[in-house]
A and B are shown apart, each in its own frame.
Chain A
Amino acid sequence: MTAPVLLREFEDFAANGGGSGPSWLLPLRRAAIDRFAALGFPTPKNEDWHFTSVAPIADGTFRALPGGPARSVRLAAVDVEPFTFARPDWIRLVFVNGRYDAALSGGAARPAGVTVTDLARAWREQPEVLERHVGKVADYQRTAFTALNTAFMRDGALIQLAPNVELETPIHLVFVSTPEAAGSASHVRTLIVAGHHARATVIESYVSLGGANGYFTNAVTEAVLGEGATLAHLKLQTESERAFHVGTLQAHQGRDSHLVSFSYAAGGELARTNVYTLLAGEGSGATLHGLYLLDGAQHVDQQTRIEHASPNTFSREVYKGILDGSSHGVFNGQVFVRPEAQKTDGKQENNNLLLSAQARIDTKPQLEIFADDVKCTHGATVGRLDEMALFYMKSRGIGAEQARKLLTYAFAAGVIEAVGVAEVRAELEALTLRRFAGAGAVAAS
């Protein structure tokens, strides 16, 4: 998927109506592909990608416009059931290899004031809201992968909440990849617009089925939070360990709004998650939690950027990582405080647990403060399992394996407990306990 191939693919796409849609869409796509052509794939010289080489994606041959098998595969409800938290009643959109599958989607009827619809349909039925926001929040000027997504986006979701609507149950988007996806990319796009004082939870699951591998997910979600709105956003990335994944959440927050983001990353051969938010309105805030569990030869990178752009804004961030095998993790947490953002209150923490001698973490907290009356702290730790705690547990009869599992789980527990949806919390607890059940690197000496 070298850049020239992509540019040619785009011209074919444009000549065939650019996936059709409203009249403003093709010019937006063209602006984005031009920007991508200028930016190119990021290299490690780019500060935002210093520890991560995207060469396997740039050199790959992922077709942006897959046809044939990837898009005609049909799944049964039972295939996606393992990803539904046993809650068939949740409003749910399911995408297979980047394409919306109406038969697998469903759940409860939309309450008044709630729109949850697939993007292809939204282009036709709700072009105004899309025109107002798509490409306005997710920054394709600066970010090559967002530019690429903007040029090729076809499917995805539109979630719209009228003012004051409070949704009790989550909205669930499931992005499934199957073995037929090999060699292709899916540029899925989601727009979430929360009206003033609206409140909702959106879960995005990125999963693989049947040993899917060698595909590339390039997802972009943009979120607009109106005054006093609260959006809980949970991203669960458990793609195959032979998959490539770049996922970006970018939010724009109005006055007194609150973004509560949780990002779980355990999949991918090479995976990157970006969580970006602009605290544009006074009194707005962001709570970002993350957990990444890596093993084998995985390379998983998380970048967060919180931009304090108004007075009295706050941010709370805790990311934890557990790394085994010869995996490589990256955490880069950026906090910018603009001159006008007086009384900013920011706290950031990144803790890492290395279970093997070969695992590696690069952690880079990054604070840039241009206001003079702020309270900002950050800290990063890298450690190993506490040998005394292991001995203590063993001395009570708990075997070495079980003791390691418990301690590993305990390390992650703090961020898992922050997840507001009980079903997701239970699933994460199980995933974390299972993930390192066989970790043997810290064997008893």
Chain B
Amino acid sequence: MLDIRNLQARVGGGADILKGITLHVNAGEVHAVMGPNGSGKSTLAQVLAGNPVYEVTGGSATLDGNDLLAMQPEERAHAGLFMAFQYPVEIPGVSNAYFLRSAYNEIRKAHGQEEVDPLEFLDIMEKNLALVDMEPSMLNRSVNAGFSGGEKKRNEILQMAVLRPRLAILDETDSGLDIDALRIVAEGVNKLRRPDNATIVVTHYQRLLNHIVPDFVHVLSAGRIVKSGGKELALELEDKGYDWIETPAEAVA
């Protein structure tokens, strides 16, 4: 489904942060991408979503055979990509309901489907709100404005539930969450797992992986995947920390 080959990227004219990532994700799989601060794991998520701050300097990334890197961020969303932001953006003045309905309809339009009207959309929302334990009143609030950290992350999962992506990337969704919020978020993600979709969980800590059990764990260091394994690799990391992971010799880009 997702096919990343030798992906390299940087910010502005700086040195590469991603120095050649190769990763394959099949439908039905959950992959965890772990690594210390500055290893490039969030950059990988942002580059896949199309954050214009990053510049791809080499390699390729395709989703179902379509060249992700040639698409605008909105086209990637239409193709089924979704990234839950580490720091969801506040948009005062735009209601959650309007924002989500716009996104939902834009994706439907891209697939040649009819738009849904506000009433139909409310039905869709009601089913999904319960999934992340949110009150319907949050639909009338501005997007993320004045939300607590936990509410923002739950709102990301709500968006994911409504938009039903083919590939979801959770960028450090667990950071800053207390255990209750973490459980709600993880349960939401688990309920959304289907044989035809896939999830990449980017995280610094193992604790989220107690709740979202990965099929594969990859460890990033200095812009490269230095180790891959099963879910037991995450436990090993928790046990020993990141220090035992070998840091690759400074690479030729």
Contact = CB atoms under 8 A, between A and B. Distances in A.
Interface string B174-212: 000000000000000000000000000000000000000
Given A388-B89, A409-B93, A397 B52 contact: no
A392, A399, A400, A412: residue with the most chain B Cβ atoms closer than 10 Å: A392
B93 A399 contact: no
B13 to A, nearest CB: 14
Interface in B56-79: 72-74, 76-78
B115 interface: no
Nearest to B87: A388
A7 B35 CA distance: 81
Contact of A444 (B72, B93, B102, B159): B72
Nearest to B102: A398
A398, A412, A414, A444: residue with the most chain B Cβ atoms closer than 10 Å: A398
A305 interface: no
Nearest to A403: B74
A388 B77 CA distance: 16
Contacts of B103: 393, 396-398
B89 A389 contact: yes
A387 interface: yes
A274 interface: no
Interface string A387-422: 111011111111110110011011111100000000
A445 interface: yes
Contact of B73 (A395, A406, A412, A414): A395
Contacts of A396: 74, 77, 82, 99-100, 103, 159, 163
Given A394-B72, A398-B74, A413 B49 contact: no
A386 interface: yes
> Is the interface on chain B under 10, 10 to 19, 20 to 34, or 35 or more residues?
20 to 34
Contacts of A395: 49-51, 73-74, 76-77, 82-83, 85
A65 to B, nearest CB: 47
Interface in B23-65: 49-52
Contacts of B88: 392
B106 interface: yes
Given A392-B88, A410-B91, A400 B51 contact: no
Given A391-B52, A395-B73, A397-B106, A413 B89 contact: no
Nearest to A387: B52
B130 interface: no
A397 B50 contact: no
Contacts of B107: 397
A401 to B, nearest CB: 10
B52 A392 contact: no
Contacts of B92: 410, 413-414
A413 B91 CA distance: 12
A124 B79 CA distance: 73
A35 B96 CA distance: 56
Nearest to B108: A397
A445 B12 CA distance: 12
B245 interface: no
B99 A393 contact: yes
A388 B88 CA distance: 9
A397 B76 CA distance: 8
B102 to A, nearest CB: 5
B52 A400 contact: no
A165 B49 CA distance: 60
27 contacts: A387-B52, A389-B89, A391-B52, A391-B73, A392-B89, A393-B99, A394-B50, A395-B49, A395-B50, A395-B74, A395-B76, A395-B85, A396-B82, A397-B78, A397-B104, A398-B102, A398-B103, A398-B106, A399-B74, A400-B74, A403-B74, A409-B93, A409-B94, A410-B91, A410-B142, A444-B72, A445-B52
Interface of B: 49-52, 72-74, 76-78, 82-83, 85, 88-94, 98-100, 102-104, 106-107, 110, 142, 159, 163
Given A392-B91, A402-B106, A406-B94, 18 more contacts: A386-B89, A391-B52, A391-B73, A392-B85, A394-B72, A394-B77, A395-B49, A395-B51, A395-B76, A396-B82, A396-B159, A397-B74, A400-B72, A406-B91, A406-B99, A409-B93, A414-B93, A444-B52
